[in-house]
A and B are shown apart, each in its own frame.
Chain A
Amino acid sequence: MREISFQKALEEAVAEEMRRDARVITMGTDFTGDPVKEFGPSRVRFTPISEAALTGMGLGAAGCGFRPIVNWRMVTFSFVAMDQIVNQASKIRYMFGGQADFPVTYRCTTGGGIGPGGAAFAEPVLDVDAPGRAQDHPAVDAGRRQGALEERDPGRQPRGLVRVQPAGRGHGPGARRRPRRAARRGRREARGTDVTIVALAYYVARSARGGRGAGARGHLRRGVDPRTLVPLDVETVRASVRKTGRCDRGRGAGHLPAASEIAGAHRRGPRDVSGR
């Protein structure tokens, strides 16, 4: 199995989609590698730092038949574009009565909430309550295999809706061509018996990988990584809580109000065990 970095995996995945489908274009302030060399400057767009414009342009171009990949870089930068994300992208297909599909992919990094830039290093997870798009959070560390990006079922993605997700293999803009794989399932990360920790993305390694973290008061963690926040794999979380009787949201899943409520019926212990 080939071992490559997360960044390299994304770079290759975008290139693969662009090779396969001429309607895929990519926009961002910066690119790794040299995609302009292969795809030319009309499909690889260096942009000004204009998150609202880029987010809306992705929608407009998608509504006209293209499959844009917009790179916000960091999730915190995307908050500048909240009108386009929440008011426009999330609702556009529904409010127009499904007249058009808007297959745009927004990608960004999340997590890493410690750093010198207070404003830029903040919430790791985007608004979960806005409807109308899928939201994937692959927790793949640098050095883990690219194959980890494949485990999505395109057939269950909101068809033609906005997907807030990295443009990885199997769930990028032309993902429907690929064979169906296992459903968009959460993944069990650790087999501890005392408490279920639900965590996402970068925070899986921090919160859900098992062991007895100090903040967990010595509980043995049973980790669950939903991987896809919208739609959420409720059943995997519930199954874990049936075993442990306790549930909490680890770092990165703070915006996951459903997790503890979903599990509520099975919960028996105190909530404050996550190690946050």
Chain B
Amino acid sequence: VAGKIYGAVHPYVGQEAVAAGRVRDLTVTDRVTSTHRGHGHCIAKGADVRRMMAELFGRVDGYCKGKGGSMHIADFAVGMLGANGIVGGGLPIACGAALAAQLEGQGHVTVCFFGDGAAAEGEFHEALNIAALWKLPIVFVCENNQYAANNAVAVQHPHVDIAVHAAAFDMPGVVADGNDVLEVYARTGEAVARARRAEGPSLLECKTYRWHFHAMRNTPPPETRPSDEILEWKARDPIARFERFGIDRGLVSAADIVTIRDRVKTDLDEAVAFADQSPFPDPKDLLGDMFAE
């Protein structure tokens, strides 16, 4: 796919347990908002990887007709209300979705993903305040991958646990191992159940780590994070850990895992082929969806 993806892409590699652990048990009528690093959330919520790939390639069969790119992938049909190019920008939108769910009264919930960097934004505090005040059915999931762009958490926050903010807004605040899919599932499951019972929001912080650069570009900047730190986190690869868990418990065999990995690879190869054959948008559609028809 070299040279075929347009714009910056923020890889989710290393953080998979957070999206997978939280989103897989949601229904289509539950809604999710995402971040600039949103591919994992889209896949977990049920978006089609072929249309995602077409969007990365800037093609008309992409979710945004090729005009949005990596940071705007959305699939409203499955309750994926969009990635967001602005740090913290998704939190107010998620509260609006939760407000809609509260008014609908059907027990739907909203899960709002954001990073540790967003906790330094004003929108984070406004959103948590109003969500708590109105007991909105929302779960705030902070993916603390230890770095906001290139600056470590300790450089940006007086307390390295983002979950401490929950106390100020009178909501539960929990720290989970974000590289353990089952722990993420259990901890956030409690929060989702609370939201469904109309008891209000929770703040879950999942400690995790991104393996790659903040943003994939043609010429990535030099890695500034300590190499032993990177190795340490890679040793806690959430996918490998879950595979070991399954094998140790006799739930899956090594052969099953090879089969699953092959299937994922096939899906992605098909997605690339699908994206490759999709045309670029027609320039005459440049202003489509901008004005009233």
Q: Mark B96-127, 1 if CB is under 8 A from A, else 0.
A: 11111111000000000000000000110011
Residues of chain B within 8 A (CB-CB) of A96 are 63-64, 68, 72, 74, 76, 82
Q: Mark A44-71, 1 if CB is under 8 A from B, else 0.
A: 0101101011111111111111101000
Q: Mark A165-189, 1 if CB is under 8 A from B, else 0.
A: 0000000000000000000000000
Question: Number of A interface residues, CB 8 Å?
Answer: 45
Residues of chain A within 8 A (CB-CB) of B64 are 95-97, 99
- Tell whether, in the assembled complex, residue A83 and residue B101 are in contact, meaning their CB atoms are under 8 Å apart: no
Residues of chain B within 8 A (CB-CB) of A84 are 89, 92, 123
Q: Could you list 17 examples of A-B contacts with CB < 8 Å?
A: A42-B103, A45-B134, A52-B123, A53-B129, A57-B92, A60-B81, A60-B95, A60-B99, A63-B76, A63-B81, A63-B96, A87-B86, A96-B72, A97-B65, A99-B74, A100-B76, A132-B290
- Tell whether, in the assembled complex, residue A159 and residue B63 are in contact, meaning their CB atoms are under 8 Å apart: no
Q: Mark B35-63, 1 if CB is under 8 A from A, else 0.
A: 00000000000000000000000000011
- Beyond A53-B123, A64-B97, 14 additional pairs, beta carbon < 8 A: A60-B93, A60-B95, A63-B96, A63-B97, A64-B100, A66-B103, A83-B86, A83-B89, A93-B290, A95-B67, A131-B290, A157-B292, A159-B292, A161-B292
Residues of chain A within 8 A (CB-CB) of B81 are 60, 63
- Tell whether, in the assembled complex, residue A64 and residue B122 are in contact, meaning their CB atoms are under 8 Å apart: no
- Tell whether, in the assembled complex, residue B86 and residue A63 are in contact, meaning their CB atoms are under 8 Å apart: no
Most chain B CB inside 10 Å of its own CB: which residue of A65, A68, A97, A155 = A97
Query: Using a CB–CB distance below 8 Å, which chain B residues touch chain A?
Result: 31, 33, 62-65, 67-68, 72, 74-77, 81-82, 84-86, 88-89, 91-103, 122-123, 126-127, 129-130, 133-134, 288-293
Rounded to whole angstroms, the CA-CA distance of A159 and B64 in the bound complex is: 18
- Tell whether, in the assembled complex, residue A56 and residue B291 are in contact, meaning their CB atoms are under 8 Å apart: no
Rounded to whole angstroms, the CA-CA distance of A25 and B84 in the bound complex is: 25
Chain A residue nearest to B101 in the complex (CB): A64
The yes or no answer to A212 lying at the interface (CB within 8 A) is: no
Residues of chain B within 8 A (CB-CB) of A95 are 64, 67-68, 72
- Tell whether, in the assembled complex, residue A97 and residue B127 are in contact, meaning their CB atoms are under 8 Å apart: no
Rounded to whole angstroms, the CA-CA distance of A56 and B97 in the bound complex is: 10
Closest CB in chain B relative to A42 CB, distance in Å: 6
Rounded to whole angstroms, the CA-CA distance of A55 and B89 in the bound complex is: 11
The yes or no answer to A147 lying at the interface (CB within 8 A) is: no
- Tell whether, in the assembled complex, residue B96 and residue A93 are in contact, meaning their CB atoms are under 8 Å apart: no
- Contact check: which of A42, A53, A59 meets B126 at CB < 8 Å? A53
- Tell whether, in the assembled complex, residue A93 and residue B92 are in contact, meaning their CB atoms are under 8 Å apart: no
Q: A63-B81, A88-B86, A88-B89 are contacts. A25–B103 as well, Cβ < 8 Å?
A: yes
Chain A residue nearest to B55 in the complex (CB): A97
